Structure 1
Amino acid sequence: MSSDATPDPYADPIAFGQRLKILRTRRGMTREQLGGLIGGKSASWVRAVEVGRLKTPKLDVILRMAEVLRVQDLAELTGDESAHVDLFTGPGHPRLGAVRTAVNAYRLAPSREAPPIAHIRARLARAWTARHAAPNHREVVGALLPGLIRDAQLAVRQSDRAAERRTAQAALSEVYSLSQFFVAYQPDPALLWRVAERGMIAAQESEDPHVIGVAAWLAAQAHRDSGPGHYDAADAVNQEALAFLTPLLPDASDDVLAITGALTFEAGYTAARRGETGTAWRYWDQARAMSQRLPAAYYHPMTSFSHAIMGAHAVTVAVELHAGGESVRQAATSEATFIPSRPRRARHRIEAARGYQMDGQPDAALSTLARAYETAPETVKYNGYAKTIVLAETKSKSPARRRRASELAVKIGLLAA
C-alpha cells in the first residue's frame, strides 16, 4: 500500500477523538455545530477533544455526542467493543425478517387472484387502529404487514383499468407508509429507504393528494433523520409537497388539510434541528392555525395531526432547539392534553423527558420515561433518546436514581436482568 493511501479508520484501535472526528465529518457537521448541540461547547473545545489535547469526556457528555451524531452503536464512538449498546437503531424486531422478505419479493407470475381493494383497505384500517391502540404495536403491525404487502402489490399488478390501478396504488402506498413506521429505528437503513421510495412512487401513481402528502411527510422524516447533510433534501421534499397541496386547501377534505398541517410542522422540525429558532416557531404557528380549522375531535390516522398534538409539537421544537427551560414549560402546558395514539403519547413523554434532562431535572426525566414505558413499551425500547437518558442515569451518584434507572434499563433491554 502506498504511503499516501487513505487508511481504514477502524482497521486498528484508534483514539476517542479520532472516532469523534470521523463520525462528525460523516454527519456533515462542523465543530461549532456539534459543540453547540451537546451543550454550549466551543469549536475549539471539540477540536481539542478530537486531537487528544483533552481527555475523553465523561459518560453524560459522550451520550449527548452519541445522541447528536445518532450513532447506531455506542461502541462506534467509544471504541469499547465489550460494551455494544444499540441507540438509534434497535436490536431488530423479531418480525423484521418476515417484513423484509415481503418487501424484497418480486412475484412475476402470481398464482392467485388479489383480494378486493375494499378488503385490503379494511385490513389497513384495522392495522392503523392497532398501531395506535396496542402497547406492543410493533409486534401487532409486524404480524399484519407481510400479508398486506403481498396483497397490495398483487392488486396493483392485476388492475386492468386506469382508475382501478390508481386506487390500488393508493392502497399500496399506504401499506408502505405503515411499513415505514415499523421499519424505523430497525437495523436495516437500506430497507427503510426502499420502503420510503416505493411509497412515494406508488403515491405519485395514485394521483391522490392525501396519499402523496403522507408519502412526502415520511420521506422528509427519513432525510432529516439521516443527519445534517440531508436537511436540505428534507426541506426540498417538504416544500415540494406543500407547493402541491396548498392550492387545494380551499376545498380540501379534513385529511388533506391535516397532512398539509403535518408537513408544515415538519418544516419547522427540520428548522429546529438546524437551530433556526424563529423559523421553527413560525412554522409551528402556521401548523397550529391549520389544526384549528379541523373539527375538535379529528385525529389524523397516520401523522396524529390534530388540535391535541400541537402541545406535543411545541415540546419537540423546544427540545430540538436545546431550550431546556422552554421545553419543560411547554411540557407542563401540554400535560393535560390527551393524545389518543399510544406510541405518539409515549413519544411525547420521551420528548418531555429530554426537556427535563436538559433542564437538570433527571428524576423528572426518569419518571416521565417510566410513564412512557407503561404507555407503549416498544416505543421506548426503540427510541435512542430514551436510551441515552436511561444509560446516563445508571451511572448517577444518587443511589436511588441509579437504582430507578437500572430497573428501567433492564425493562428496555439495555442491561441484563
Structure 2
Amino acid sequence: MAQDVTPDPYADPLRFGQRAQLLRERRGMTQTQVADLLGMSPHTYRKIENGQLKAPGLETVIRIAEVLRVRNLAELTGRPETDVDLFTGPGHPRLAAVKAAVDDFALTRADTAVPPSAAGLDARLRAAWRTRHASRNHREAIGALLPELIRDAQTVVRLADRAPERRAAQALLAEVYALAQFFLAYQPDASLLWRVAERAMIAARESEDPHAVGVASWLLAQAHRDSGPRHYDTADTINREAVRFLEPLLPDAPVEVLAVAGALEFELGYTAARRRESGTAWRHWDRASGMAARLPAEYAHPVTSFGRAVLGAHAVTVAVELHQGGESVRQAARADRTAIRSRPRRARHRIEEARGYQLDNQPDVAVASLEKAYEAAPETIRYNGYARAILLEHLESPRAPRRRRAAELAGKVGLLSA
C-alpha cells in the first residue's frame, strides 16, 4: 500500500511520466513546448511521459520541475523524502539574527538595561510597519528592526503585572510576530516560520483582542494554504473560525477590525481558487469587496494591506489561481496598481499580473510586469517563487530579446548566482 501512495519514479518510470503529464497539462503546455525548454526532442520527452524511457537522472528531474514550475520536487516525484522547495530564495543576511531573537527565551536582562514600555513598543511597531510599506528593500529594513522588537515584546509581556496590561502586551507580541512572518516568507527555514505563526496565534488568543486574533488567523491560514493542497482544509477551518469570531462585532467594529474581517473573507476565496472552485472563489471576493466599500476610500490596513485599492489586485490573483488567463489579463487592466501605496504589496500585484500574462501566452508582457515589480520592491521579486520560475523559463527562450531581458532581470535579483 505504501508503494502505491508514494511511488518511486526511478523504479516506475510510467508513474513519473504520468505526474509530469498531469503537471504539464495543468500549465496548459504542449509536449513540444516542454521538450524545447528542456533542450531535447519532442519524441524523447514523449517517451518520458508514456513510460517508454527510463526515468531521467536527478539533474533532468530538477530541470523538468523548473520548466513545469513545480514549487516542491515531491509534487513531481511522488516521494515525500524529496520534499524540497525549488523556488525558495537564498536566506536573507539578517535571517540568522531574527532567528536568534525568536529562539531567545532569556528570563532576565542586564541590570543596566532600561525596561521597554508598552507605549514605546507600540510606537516603534507602528513605525516599523510604515517603514516596511515605504521601503524597496523591505526585508532589509524590517530585518534590522525585528531582533530588538521581538526581544522587547517578550520582555513587555513578562513584566506585565496586571491582567489588562498582560493582555495588551500579548496583542503587541502577536503583532510583532506578524511583522516577522512577512520577513520570513520565502526564506529557507520553514520550521522557523511555523514557530512564529503558531506563537502569534497563542499570543493573540491570550490577548483576547479581536484585531490581534484576526491578524494571527489570517497569517496562520496562509501558512497552511501555502503548504499545499493537503492543508487547504485546515486553512479554511482557521479562516472560517476567525470570520465567525469577528462577525458579531462588525456592525460597530473599528476600521482595523472590519479590514481584517474583509481580508479573511478574501482568503477564503483565494483558497477556493487554488482548488479551482470558480463560483466559490468569486463569491468570497464579492463579499470582501462589499466589506472594503465600508472602509474609508484611502484606507489600507497596516498588516494585510486590505482596503478598496487592493481589491483589483485580489481579483487578478483569483483569476490566476483559477488558471483563467484571459480573465486575469482583463482584471489586470481594470486594477489601479498606482493606488496601492505599499511598495511590497504593489510589487506582489505586478508578479500576479505577470502570472496572468504568462497564462495568456503574452510572455514579453509578463517579463515587463516583473521588471515593474523590481522597480517597486526588489526584495519582493527576489524571494518570490512564481517570479523566479517565470524568469527561469524565459532564460531558455528561443527569442533573443526576451532571453536578454530575462537574463538582465535574473542577474539583478540574484537568480543566476543562486
Band of TM-score, shorter chain: 0.7 to 0.9
Deviation of the 1:90 alpha carbon = 1.3
Mapping for residues 174-189 of structure 1, pairs under 5 Å? 174-189=175-190
In structure 2, what is the equivalent of residue 209 of structure 1?
210
The alignment partner of 1:388 has SS state of helix
In structure 1, what is the equivalent of residue 90 of structure 2?
91
In structure 1, what is the equivalent of residue 28 of structure 2?
39
Is 1:63 matched up with 2:62? no
Deviation of the 1:382 alpha carbon = 0.2
In structure 2, what is the equivalent of residue 218 of structure 1?
219
The letter of the residue matching 2:290 is A
Name the % identity: 59
Deviation of the 1:88 alpha carbon = 3.3
The alignment partner of 2:297 has SS state of coil
Cα distance in 2, alignment partners of residues 20 and 216 from structure 1: 39
Cα distance in 2, alignment partners of residues 12 and 284 from structure 1: 40
Deviation of the 1:288 alpha carbon = 0.2
The alignment partner of 2:308 has SS state of coil
In structure 1, what is the equivalent of residue 285 of structure 2?
284
Mapping for residues 259-338 of structure 1, pairs under 5 Å? 259-335=260-336, 337-338=338-339
Aligned-residue Cα RMSD (Å) equals: 3.3
8 Å CA contact 1:38–1:61 kept in 2: the answer is no
Cα distance in 2, alignment partners of residues 90 and 218 from structure 1: 20
Deviation of the 1:156 alpha carbon = 0.4
When residues 383 and 113 of structure 1 are mapped into structure 2, their CA distance, relative to the original with a 3 A threshold, is same
Name stretches of at least 5 consecutive residues in structure 2 with no aligned partner: 32-44, 78-83
Cα distance in 2, alignment partners of residues 412 and 73 from structure 1: 26
In structure 1, what is the equivalent of residue 364 of structure 2?
363
In structure 2, what is the equivalent of residue 382 of structure 1?
383
Cα distance in 2, alignment partners of residues 93 and 10 from structure 1: 35
The alignment partner of 1:66 has SS state of coil
The letter of the residue matching 1:90 is G
- Note the alpha carbon deviations across 1:357-413, whole angstroms, 9 max, x for none: 110100000011001001100000000100111110111111111111111111111
8 Å CA contact 1:353–1:366 kept in 2: the answer is yes
When residues 227 and 336 of structure 1 are mapped into structure 2, their CA distance, relative to the original with a 3 A threshold, is closer
In structure 2, what is the equivalent of residue 151 of structure 1?
152
When residues 247 and 41 of structure 1 are mapped into structure 2, their CA distance, relative to the original with a 3 A threshold, is farther
In structure 1, what is the equivalent of residue 35 of structure 2?
none
Cα distance in 1, alignment partners of residues 263 and 282 from structure 2: 14
8 Å CA contact 1:73–1:87 kept in 2: the answer is no
Name stretches of at least 5 consecutive residues in structure 1 with no aligned partner: 25-29, 78-84
Is 1:349 matched up with 2:338? no
Is 1:400 matched up with 2:401? yes
In structure 1, what is the equivalent of residue 40 of structure 2?
none
8 Å CA contact 1:209–1:245 kept in 2: the answer is yes
When residues 72 and 107 of structure 1 are mapped into structure 2, their CA distance, relative to the original with a 3 A threshold, is farther
- Note the alpha carbon deviations across 1:248-274, whole angstroms, 9 max, x for none: 001100000000000000000000000
The letter of the residue matching 1:100 is K
8 Å CA contact 1:224–1:230 kept in 2: the answer is yes
What is the TM-score with the length of structure 1 in the denominator? 0.86
Cα distance in 2, alignment partners of residues 12 and 334 from structure 1: 43
Deviation of the 1:65 alpha carbon = 3.4
What is the TM-score with the length of structure 2 in the denominator? 0.86
